[in-house]
């Protein structure tokens, strides 16, 4: 989540340095963020197995299910954003990626609390 916010904040500055700067920086970011996403998914699976969902409340399991769907949607949105060809597609999919990443973070806090 933090990396997305930093990258979004730098787009204007990077665009001022070079017209293709945002694309170059985004590709470099993707080389770091996709492995990080894989680690987050792996540690999420590990955390689920350590918490034993069958012993949790029904509400907790519902929030967990929603979080899993939101994390999958965040990954899908980021993937499509990385392949978007139009400014509109970049904006829509980038926004959806950011919003779903934030939602996954909030849902994780709910699960922990």
Q: CA nearest 63: which of 1, 105, 2, 101? A: 105
Which residue range(s) make up the domain with 46? 2-112
pTM of the model: 0.85
Residues 6 or more apart whose Cβ sits within 8 Å of residue 97: 4, 74, 77, 78, 81
- Give how many domains the chain has, as a whole number: 1
pLDDT tops 80 at residue 1? no
User: Residues 84-105: what's their mean pLDDT?
Assistant: 94
Q: What angle do CA 56, 67, 113 make, to 5 degrees?
A: 50
93 neighbors 77 (Cβ within 8 angstroms): yes
Q: What is the pLDDT of residues 31-59, one digit of tens each?
A: 999 999 999 999 999 999 998 899 999 99
Q: Which is it for the CA torsion 6, 79, 93, 67, positive or negative? A: negative
């Amino acid at each position: 989540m933090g990396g997305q916010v930093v990258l979004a904040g730098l787009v204007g500055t990077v665009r001022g340095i070079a017209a293709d700067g945002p694309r170059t920086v985004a590709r470099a970011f993707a080389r770091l963020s996709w492995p990080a996403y894989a680690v987050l998914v792996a540690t999420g699976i590990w955390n689920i197995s350590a918490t034993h969902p069958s012993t949790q409340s029904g509400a907790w399991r519902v929030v967990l299910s929603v979080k899993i769907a939101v994390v999958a949607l965040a990954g899908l949105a980021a993937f499509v954003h990385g392949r978007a060809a139009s400014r509109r597609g970049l904006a829509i999919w980038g926004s959806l990626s950011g919003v779903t990443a934030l939602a996954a973070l909030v849902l994780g806090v709910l699960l922990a609390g």
